[in-house]
Structure 1
């Protein structure tokens, strides 16, 4: 029996035989074309269009976050600049397969170097290229295996197109050797409620057919377990399923301390499903869906209609809306499409909105009008609005004043930059609330790109340096009587959620599928337990020991 360690997603446990993802197709031959550039161009254009339509179809069937990712991949496939690169190579005598391989590889390397949002798309581009080349070669695209029985899927990482339509009757759990807690695989696993362990480097040694236990709660994959291990895992899986199906109650600790559990959403249409899973409101509504596929900024009327749908869907609850988080790392022709050497540190978030204040004012106007309209109809929510990527007290003061000028009643900022966390007492003194985005806060604290494989080990919100910044914000909130929410992926980790409450978080927001596990974890612990686990984590020297210390501290009885 051997154990492989990684990062668990959720609290589930599963067992079964391994089925490995096929390796990528080899690079096509560089032999010159034998049919001529015109025929090769026709082949290439047909394959690109077919793959784009397939990705869109998969997205339409999958819905949710997967649809957004797959539609973005389809747009990548038909990017005019990529088409020009392919055509140039075809004109030089390359085959369609080789031209696609080279052109996409060039773009992939460029995106990877840029980092930020575009850097995250580099692996997606590889997947698109593989699908186009497979179509040109008349072979099946590398993807999820189909052994004919339920299995544990093991891969280096999964492309969005693969995770979007996983057959959950067949895929018992996911194990990846690459990636981390903020990878697409992790995010989609949370959204779908799939048992998963990511970043398990030792998983490359697992063999097809080998029996394993995947334990997300401990972040382990046990290979060749004993009969007793299998029986214990089966019992824990039953207990977890029972807890997940238990009646939904408001988020609270065992001593009655309320901790509202909210949902991270990307579209108004996701509201019904989130409420069905127990979301008590919205802790992060991403407004990018209105902007990223547009050639010009949406009108106030168009925005207002979508915001009204959202507020009506969560009538009577708190809804926290994040303004457009875009800029050079998510180029928009009407906002900022200039090139930057390091867009993650460039003009993004509030910086970009401030440079184009008309877009910022329109968004605030639309939100205020939607709030007033839904309240007048008796279906209003408690609207809170926050600015992304705020670094300074001056930026906080500017945004808060502007939002109030437009009629927004509750105004706050995202704490994603260490500077804002370190000055949290002064930031919160001039606004109503703070919401900590742990994904970017970890990235900037550890100087580690969220999707760059070689530094994935640094991208862990359990690191004591990150937790100390969260503690600073929590302390400022308590001192000033201001709410401090968590809306990054960290809140979906049940044990870390408990620690975050101990550090001062007053609400937790996450993918709706994670709500049940987090609710159960909080119900089993008191505020003293949470504070003790938080103190243990802060005293650690690295992420792994912080997690282990919290696990020990939270399992110990509260001292009399």
Structure 2
């Protein structure tokens, strides 16, 4: 292995984008490797180093080259290019080819890629970070083809630098502690330094360059951390890591008042475990018909028979053989699983599948895990035992941290353990085959088990453990498969082949239902699915009520993919684009060019249909660390929405400019969040008109407002005279009218937007809009509820913007309504006493909803 620096050359002409600013977490968090990205100006990719082509993606958008010294580099064209399935992409090299620096690797149609995917940012990464690390990189500016953009050196071959050890303390002020995403960001920051960096909490120590190791600290708000570094740049490393921790790493920062506590005030150590009562595992008999409960992890209804998934692979014998042979076996098994996960990360059926498999592939590259296993092998352990023991230790730490989300992440580590042990035992990742009506039952379903089903997914999942936030729950919901989690030990009492009805709407499982119950459920499900299929077929048609009244139904979106999927579900445009997705989970605000590119891509995805863009709605439950907002006793009533814009008009001007550059600008409408009085609207309009004039835009671009606070309803007549339109945000409006925090789970059953008091505010806003010719839409959660549709229309609402999956059924229902019926229903609702009464009234009129 070389001891010299490897010079990495720009593979194409363009502008540098720091890896942390890439709008894809798999790249931004360093899960695919370390390096930088380039926004290309040409459609050709050339070799950044000399070496051998080790991998060419079958769709032509990614190539890996390994130098003779063993450093592997990935060039990945675009972030969404895989969706093109090779269209407009031409890889001109094959695996095994030798290339020199500057040799052509890929040709691509830059314009077509930009139009189809919006983002053509091209990461250039060193992927084997266990052996090589980046020592310098270009951080900004233009680059030409062949310019040096990065230098890389082998880790073990460097001459030892002068040793310096530095340590400092820092109090963790991140409200949720150091959980998975900020841990990954902190590890990426630590990797920028050559020094070894360690974070200590009490008796726990963590390698700061390992996300998994950082998670095992179990840190919380108020924890005192010791950051230490040893090496040539130790001082800079400690300063950089502490600065990153103090920034919040994208999470809210809540100042900690030091009163001498060692940890979070008022939080004692976990009590000693209480001995649990014995669990009854007696199988249910054929005549037993219990009704079991669980947590709805993915909604839906299924009828089928119980199929228990296979048990986990047992840990191999502890004693190992030849150290070199055991190490080679482990490396080969990990490489095989990594390849399998990487293939699934590109070929998964849903974005959620692809993201989770990519994250699992990245976990297999975690140096803390790999070094732990190799150390055990060096002490005479077998490859399987060493890897299993390392995983078990890390998973046990995560489960013991009194944090449900981190405990669920332990399942991801166990998943990797099972896959590697399977390969070591001579098996291979392969698809599972189940009967068509199978209801898969597992103690704790693993993501790899889910992915192994391929396209032959079971009718439903029943899981004894797990929860709403597990990766499997995300995968199941994205695939449309019902799932009940946290069913408990009763799941193991269900015998193989037992008939089941899984109602993942109510959170119930009927065991051994009668034939009559099964038939009634099957008939109801078939009728519902037939209706929904017909509704999906008719969804693209404009929504017109039975009496001829036009009532547009739009989609709420937060990305290019959302916009495209919205159209597929029959959306007539977007009534709400949440722009905060561009501002969250990053250390700095997005540039004007970044915003413009994203807004343009979303407008293009909507194919000329209306796009309503909400300006930055941040603060409250969505703070931004780089805005340096002070701590607020009640952030929901604090600096958020338009109040943030008043304090940072530069951000608002930049956002206005980015929106106004969308072509054609005629499809765009803009709305301001959290407006409470006419002065705020006039202030925003003045800035808007200044930016329009500066860009030479004379076309009419409607500027409307969100109706979210009671003050806006009280001022609705004045606001309606000057706003181009109203859009009612029922989520915030409900919590403000009812004085109930919508984030408070204890109050969740009582926070209902169909409360007559909330409906009265909607009626008042709609009436003011009608008096002054100001259209009134609803874009909050209430717009997606079928029972609310006739009431909202009857109150005077002129459009709805809903969750995309519900649009077909919503449009179908609206087509059966007329204005007179809706007015009568709305008047009756306003006269009732509670939200429950309103829902009961609607259910009596439309029992099939």
**TM-score by structure 2 length?**
0.47
Partner of 2:500: 211
**What does residue range 141-220 of structure 1 map to in structure 2 within 5 Å?**
148-149=434-435, 150=437, 170=457, 172=459, 194=480, 211-212=500-501, 214=503
Contact 1:323 1:385 in 2 (8 A): yes
Distance 1:313-1:520 versus aligned 2 partners, 3 A rule: same
Residue 610 of structure 2 is matched in structure 1 by 318
Q: Deviations over 1:304-358 (max 9, x none)?
A: 1222222233343211001122225333233244333332222222211221110
| Corresponding residue for residue 813 of structure 2 | 521
For 2:551 and 2:470, how far apart are their aligned partners in 1? 27
Q: Are 2:589 and 1:297 aligned?
A: yes
Give the structure 1 partner of residue 409 of structure 2.
128
The aligned counterpart of 1:179 is: none
Question: Which has the higher Rg, Structure 1 or Structure 2?
Answer: 2
Separation in structure 2 between the aligned mates of residue 404 and residue 514 of structure 1, nearest angstrom: 37
Change (3 A) 1:468 1:296: same
**Structure 1 residues 210 and 540 mapped into 2: Cα distance closer, same or farther (>3 Å)?**
farther
Residue 774 of structure 2 corresponds to: 482
User: What is the CA-CA distance between 1:272 and the residue it aligns to?
Assistant: 2.7
Alignment equivalent of 1:229, drawn from 500, 520, 537? 520
* Contact 2:395–2:410 (Cα < 8 Å) also in 1: no
**Could you tell me which residue of structure 2 aligns to residue 429 of structure 1?**
721
2:619 equivalent to 1:327: yes
How do 1:418-497 and structure 2 match up within 5 A? 418-497=710-789
Q: Select the structure that is richer in strand.
A: 2
Confirm whether residue 240 of structure 1 aligns to residue 531 of structure 2.
yes
> Which protein has the bigger helix share?
1
Residue in 2 aligned with 1:119? none
Q: 1:134 to 1:4 in 2, by over 3 A?
A: closer
Rate the CA distance shift 1:2–1:102 in 2: closer, same or farther, 3 A.
closer
Residue correspondence of structure 1 range 4-153 to structure 2 within 5 A: 15-16=303-304, 61=348, 96=394, 99-101=397-399, 105=402, 124=405, 127-128=408-409, 131=412, 148-149=434-435, 150=437
Deviations 1:245-266 (CA, angstroms, capped at 9, x unpaired)? 4333101211111111111111
Q: Residue 790 of structure 2: SS of its match in structure 1?
A: helix
Q: Equivalent residue for 1:288?
A: 580
Task: Select the structure with the greater relative contact order (CA < 8 A; seq sep ≥ 6).
Answer: 1
Q: Structure 2 residue aligned with 1:402, among 678, 684, 687?
A: 687
CA distance in structure 1 between the partners assigned to 2:448 and 2:730 by the alignment: 26
Question: 2:545 aligned with 1:253, yes or no?
Answer: yes
SS in 1 for 2:626: coil
Larger deviation: 129-138 or 435-444? Answer: 129-138
Pairing 1:360–2:652 present = yes
Cα distance between partner residues in 1 of 2:674 and 2:447 = 26
In the alignment, the residues of structure 2 paired with residue 394 and residue 383 of structure 1 have an alpha-carbon distance, to the nearest angstrom, of 24
1:516, distance to aligned residue in structure 2 (A): 0.6
SS at 2:627 equivalent: coil
1:533·1:554 contact (CA, 8 Å) conserved in 2?
no
Instruction: Tell me the alpha carbon deviations over residues 273-330 of structure 1, each in whole angstroms, 9 at most, x when there is no partner.
Output: 3222211111111112221133222221221122222223334321100112222533
Q: Distance in 1 between matches of 2:305 and 2:543?
A: 36
1:160, distance to aligned residue in structure 2 (A): 12
What SS does the corresponding residue of 2:520 show, helix, strand or coil? helix
Deviation at 1:495, TM superposition (A): 2.4
Gaps of 5+ in 1: 22-49, 76-94, 109-122, 141-145, 177-181
- 1:471-510: CA deviations, max 9, x gaps? 2222222222211111122222222223222222211112
Secondary structure of the residue aligned to 2:611 is strand
Structure 2 Cα separation of the partners of residues 249 and 7 of structure 1: 37
Structure 1 residue 269: deviation in Å? 3.7
Q: What's the offset of the Cα at 1:420?
A: 2.2
Aligned CA RMSD, in angstroms, stands at 5.3
Q: Is the 8 A contact 2:556 2:803 kept in 1?
A: yes
Contact 2:536 2:569 survives alignment (8 Å): no
CA 1:205–1:259 in structure 2 vs 1: closer, same or farther (change >3 Å)? farther
SS at structure 2 position matched to 1:334: helix
CA distance in structure 2 between the aligned counterparts of 1:160 and 1:348, rounded to whole angstroms: 38
Question: 207-216 vs 310-319, which deviates more?
Answer: 207-216
